[in-house]
Amino acid sequence: MDEDDFDDFDEEDSLLGSNERQGEEVEPWNSFQIIHRKPASGSTVETKFIDNGTIFLKIATIFGVGLVVLLTAVTSKGLLLFMTSQVKKNVTRQYCNRGLDASRQYVFSMPDVERSTWIWLLIFAYCVPEVGTFIRSLRILVFKSRSYPHPAEFLALLVTESLPAIGSSLLVFNVLPEIDVIRGAMLTNAMSVVPGLELILFNMYSTKRSVSMALVADIAALIAQVSAFVAWPLLADGDSTLWLIPVSTILISFGWWENFISETSAIEFVRNMAKSRKSFPNSKYFSYAIISILKCCIFFATTVASLYIREGTIGYMFNNFTATFGNHRMMVTEVIPTISGISNGVDDAVSSGVTQPIYSDITLQLSIWFVCIATAYICYAFAKFSCKIMIQGASFAFPIGLVVPVLITGLVIFCGYFAKDECAFHGSIPSYLFFNAPPLTYLNDFIGHQYAWVWLLWLVSQIWITRHIWSNKNSKLATTEQIFMRPMYHGILIDQSIAMNRRNVAHQLRKDDGKFYKNPEELIFSSSSSKALCPHKGWRPKGLVTAALKIF
């Protein structure tokens, strides 16, 4: 075969496309043909760019959601401590002299009308999530099936929800105003006393080695939590108010008791109670529609009673609402330092009797309150979202554990700058408002001063008690009732509430017609779902249905 023959030779036609093979005639249907694949176009084009973009988007979602949870929780709790710093009676702090006589020094004493504004805003901050609970309960009662709880169940829920309301009021208006904000932030990690005790009681009869080791850690965690009862009251120098710390922390932690009872307890009564608490029937929303409003009333009544007992009067809260929620006049006083012409605080200065008028800014106060409640809700919403899309370990549990350490770091920086220069934040924060800052010497050694190091034990013990939040215990896109034990969050302790309110269950919860099921088979072969899959009552083959569902 010469070169011309090679040029005319078509391998495809010769070997595959020809209808004759070695002298035999081949039918067209029996001949081998090459069908060339059409080039991919549009969405069928394979590209690594899309795959890498999907991975990047997932990582960005995990990081972004976790960052939002962390920053909103830190902001909400920081602003709450800022608000409680303005509540204490006769509080006096240094006042920036910019805008006045720069050669003189001034101090500001908080008047009752200004205190009244912040007291009311704190009350409203607590009531906002309770109002949200009421609206949610009312919506479900109106647009879904309605059922009524047993009187005993209603009373039990009323008691366990009322105790945290009382404890929250004592904490916000009696404990936090009496201590500096750094210790106040530390104290919020000691709100797990009752859950820690429950973990011990319900695991102490187990003979499993793994449970026994966990029991030792549970006991150590409870001891760390209980140490908050005496860590600072013993150093209070005669201030009996700090002895309300154990009272308030115990009452607040009662709100999460039902989330830590175990179905594997050796006590039959406890097992039955745990089984009844794993569901969230619509009758519970009927209870919350009433209890949410009662909690606001209890919180308000406890606030008024405790302030009246401590101060002997409470009239300033009700005498003049126009001044309370308006721009009211206040006074700053000139002081003369007594030590080398430099005042290191307000205690070593003498008043000259000269005063200067200043005016409050109600717009700023309302803005602080709004940001506080808005960031708390955003934190709750993003935490719930992370549980729905199964990223709660990195985007929920991890940032919640960092809230108080990050907050304390920020408070130390803020208070340190203010202690050195009262004009450090002039133009950003009104000079008459600031955190209840610790002394400068305390800032220089705040870890070793007044048992502040014990906070690390409180933090670790809280992480251990709420260790269930690190694992996913729900299906994708689960409902609020499947994710949280209570329908909303705590208006004062956002990070602790969503951590201890996260359902502590060892099984997946599934909901169908208001009922919860331990596993998918219970859902599949419940009366309503079986009818949907197999309408004929006499033909419900379990194996066929299970096999059919496995293809998904």
Q: What is the DSSP string of 439-489?
A: PHHHHHTTTTGGGGGGHHHHHHHHHHHTGGGGS--B-TT--HHHHBSSSS-
Strands, E assignment, 4-162: 20-21, 24-25, 92-95, 105-109
Calculate mean pLDDT across residues 290-301: 96
CB 138 within 8 A of CB 354: no
Calculate mean pLDDT across residues 295-316: 94
Residue 211 predicted with pLDDT over 50: yes
Residue of 256, 259, 233 whose CA lies nearest to 246: 233
Q: Read off the tokens for 118.
A: 């912040």
Alpha helices in 316-355 (DSSP H): 321-324
What pLDDT sits at residue 530? 40
Q: Read off the tokens for 487.
A: 């329908």
* Average pLDDT of the chain, as a whole number: 81
| Amino acid letter for position 234 | L
What pLDDT sits at residue 512? 40
Residue with the bigger pLDDT between 500 and 448: it is 500
Q: Residue 522 and residue 519: Cα distance in Å, rounded? A: 6
pLDDT tens, 448-490?
A: 666 678 899 999 999 999 999 998 677 788 888 888 988 899 9
Residue with tokens 């269930």: 468
Residue 95 predicted with pLDDT over 70: yes
Calculate mean pLDDT across residues 127-143: 94
Give 212's pLDDT tier (boundaries 50, 70, 90): confident
Calculate mean pLDDT across residues 194-215: 77
Q: Read off the tokens for 488.
A: 């909303």
Query: Which region holds residue 331: left if phi is over 0, alpha if psi is between -120 and 50, else beta?
Result: beta
Which residues are paired to 551 by β-bridges? none
SS3 call for 436? coil
